Amino acid sequence: MISQSEIDALRQQEIAPQKLLLDGQWVDAADGGTIKVVSPIDGEELTTIAAATPSDVDAAVVSARQVFERGYWSRMAPQGRMKVLNKIADLIEANAKELAVLGVRDNGTEIGMAIKAEPGSAAGTFRFYAGAIDKVYGEIAPTSDDQLALVHREPVGVVGAIVPWNFPMMIGAWKIAPALAAGNSVVLKPSEAASLSLLRLAELCLEAGLPAGVLNLVTGNGAVTGEALGLHNDIDIIGFTGSGGVGRRLMDYAARSNMKRLYLELGGKSPNVVFADTPDLDQAAKVSAAGIFRNSGEVCVAGSRILVERTVHDQFVEKLKAQAAKLKVGDPLNLDNNIGAITTKQQLEGDLGFVERAQKEGGTLVCGGAQLHPEGGGYYMEPTIFTDVKPEMDLFQNEVFGPVVAITPFDSEEEAVALANGTDFGLAAAVWTSNLSRAHRMVRNIKSGVVHVNTYGGAGNNVPLAGMRQSGNGADKSLHALEKYENLKTAWIQL
């Protein structure tokens, strides 16, 4: 837990201009370029981050490749890598309050969620993969009596990790920890809209004993720094979480360079299906409100489409509206508030644009829909509910990434499945029902990497988060994530 007095003290700390981490040293960008860091809490400048040039990216990759080939980390005994990753987890936990407040000042997540979802989650992720290092084995394949076939697991080499602004520590750990556990070197690029907590994490990694060059960190704009990573011929893998548009560009960069592997998590338009036999409609409304409005809707698995059986549609809408009315939006570093700030002014403008288009296309605005203007400034928006949302509407088809939910009625299970699968995405979903057989049918028939039943937002490092269709490929979390960062090598031995 964290107290309000602790938060207030931490939010007053000055933040020095930030540098790049190249080969274990903190340095300015090659041309001295910087980017202003503006806090969504009040719209004021916090500090600056370095704007890495393509030459800085090249220096980071060269460092990562050299240390990989020398084997300081890639050929370290499993117990050695385990010790370092566990130490990183220890240091995250020891500095959790500082890390959480720093991240909130940068991206606006409400502190109650941030302290668990950011340092809390990241520490758990590093500890999970530390524990996995000596428990994932190679294989001996069945062959003839005079031959032996061995399947070895080897680190791939240099991993580029590109991380978004909504949960930078959590998602960063999902990529960094398994890549390091497998023995790879990493070049990390945080979002220019939220880099501060990952810069601090990089400091802790060095403090924990991670060899210089195993983790390099380059900050900067996606159009320059991200493109340089995507086009670099000596990066073997890129793990990316973000928008579909950037994901497509990374696929193009991979094809134009060395055909590097890409693992993409590209967001969703997740259906939350409420049947009339829901065991507790009040609980469904409460959980569904959290599933779309927490972190101002800036959650890739947010339940942004609620499909409600027509016989309980009006009743459910009223209950959801009542839940939305209870939420207090405001300063995310005030423990009395439930919902924080929109991370950037540009994102807020995009969210409001969806509201405007939904009204023009015939949607009914039940509540919210407007920007909030607190006395201290910043970027805030009311929790927003639309009904009468049809499948052809923009609000039904496209990810808002804001506190806006679309509600659509249905009359049968078959129609619910068709509506649930009626977008290009397939990241998460939920089903509310008392019918066990129906629950299993819906899990089977909804095209989604995660399907919740009578809940929303389950988490755990022991299970994968994997998208289908245009929500991406590959899995974050679980032992399956290690598969992305390893090569399989077969050895045939004549006995």
Strands 450-453 and 428-432: parallel
Q: Is residue 480 a part of any domain in this protein?
A: no
Q: How many Cβ atoms sit within 10 Å of the Cβ of residue 469?
A: 17
Residue 318 pLDDT more than 90? yes
Query: H-helix or E-strand containing 126?
Result: helix 121-132
Categorize the per-residue pLDDT at 364 as very low, low, confident or very high, splitting at 50, 70 and 90.
Answer: very high
Query: Contact 161/239 with Cβ under 8 angstroms?
Result: yes
Q: How confident is the model at residue 459 (pLDDT cuts 50, 70, 90)?
A: confident
**pLDDT score of 460:** 87
Catalytic residue check, 265 = yes
Task: Please say if the pLDDT value at position 444 is more than 80.
Answer: yes
Question: For residue 237, what is the enclosing H or E element?
Answer: strand 237-241
Name the 3-class secondary structure at 197: helix
Residues 218 and 332 in one domain: no
**pLDDT tier for residue 458 given thresholds of 50, 70 and 90:** confident
- CATH code assigned at 369: 3.40.309.10
- 106: closest CA among 167, 195, 36? 195
- Please tell me whether residues 261 and 364 are part of one structural domain: no
- Asked if 250 and 303 sit in the same domain, the reply is no
Strand partners, 465: 476
pLDDT reading at 457 higher than 90: no
Q: Domain with 113 in it: what CATH number? A: 3.40.605.10
Per mean pLDDT, which range of 133-147, 160-174, 272-286, 425-439 is the poorest?
A: 133-147
Query: For strand 475-476 and strand 139-141, is the pairing parallel, antiparallel, or unpaired?
Result: unpaired
Give the C-alpha separation, 379 to 387, whole Å: 25
**In terms of domains, do 72 and 163 share one?**
yes
Please, are residues 179 and 239 in contact by the beta-carbon 8 Å criterion? yes
If asked whether residues 173 and 318 sit together in one domain, one would say no
The model's pLDDT over 183-201, given as tens digits with 9 standing for 90+, comes to 999 999 999 999 999 999 9
Provide the pairing of β-strand 475-476 with 465-466: antiparallel
333: in domain: yes
Question: Last residue of some domain: 202, 235, 266?
Answer: 266
Within a domain: residue 144? yes
Q: Give the C-alpha separation, 319 to 56, whole Å.
A: 53
Residue 100 located in a structural domain: yes
- How high is the pLDDT of residue 1? 86
The closest alpha carbon to 368, from 377, 360, 359, belongs to 359
Across-strand partners of 453? 431
What is the mean pLDDT of the segment spanning 432-455?
A: 97
Q: Which amino acid is at 197?
A: S
* 471 occurs within a structural domain: no
CA-closest candidate to residue 315, choices 272, 292, 282, 288: 282
Same domain membership, residue 362 and residue 435 = yes
DSSP H or E run through 450: strand 450-453
Q: Give the pLDDT mean for 285-298.
A: 97
8 A C-beta contact, residue 189 and residue 220: yes
Residue 312 has pLDDT above 80, yes or no: yes
Token pair in block for residue 400: 């808002």
Residues 324-357: pLDDT tens digits? 999 999 999 999 999 999 999 999 999 999 999 9
Nearest to 379 by CA among 151, 165, 63, 128: 165
Assess contact for 319 and 285: CB atoms under 8 A: yes
Instruction: Give per-residue pLDDT as tens, 117-128.
Output: 999 999 999 999
Residues 81 and 99 in one domain: yes
Of 225, 247, 266, which marks where a domain is finished? 266
Q: Which two tokens stand for residue 250?
A: 């990374």
- CA–CA gap between residue 158 and residue 187 (Å, rounded): 7
Q: What's the pLDDT score for residue 58? A: 98
State the pLDDT at residue 144. Answer: 86
Strand order of the sheet with strand 147-155?
139-141, 147-155, 486-494
In which domain, by residue range, is 388 found?
271-460
Return the percentage of the chain with pLDDT > 90, whole number.
97
Same domain, 384 and 427: yes
In this prediction the pTM is: 0.96
* Residue 200 is assigned to a structural domain of this protein: yes
**Count of structural domains, the chain:** 2
The whole-number pLDDT of residue 450 equals 95
* Whether residue 396 has pLDDT greater than 80: yes
Q: What is the pLDDT of residue 229?
A: 98
Q: How far apart are CA 137 and CA 448, in angstroms?
A: 30
Q: Tell me, yes or no, whether 312 lies in a domain.
A: yes
* Pair (136, 241) in one structural domain: yes
What's the pLDDT tens digit per position in 369-380?
999 999 899 999
Domain boundary among 228, 247, 266: 266
Radius of gyration of the chain (CA): 23
265, 309, 399, 486: the active-site residue = 265
In terms of domains, do 43 and 70 share one? yes
Element containing residue 465 per DSSP (H, E) = strand 465-466
424 vs 436: CA distance, rounded Å: 28
| Interior/surface letters 267-302, b for 16+ CB within 10 angstroms, e for the rest | bbbbbbbbbbebeebeebbbbbbbbbbbbbbbbbbb
**For 81, what's the count of Cα atoms within 13 Å in the CB-facing half-sphere?**
28
- Torsion, Cα 93 95 97 98, to 10 degrees, reads -150
Q: Residue 145's pLDDT band (boundaries 50, 70, 90)? A: confident
In three-state form (DSSP H/G/I as H, E/B as E, the rest C), the secondary structure along 334-387 is: CCCCCECCCCCHHHHHHHHHHHHHHHHCCCEEEECCCEECCCCCCCEECCEEEE
4 pLDDT higher than 80: yes
User: Is residue 492 domain-resident?
Assistant: no
Residue 107 carries which side chain, given as an amino acid letter?
Answer: N
Shared domain for 80 and 163, answered yes or no, is yes
Question: Is the domain of 360 the same as that of 445?
Answer: yes
| Residue 249: predicted pLDDT | 97
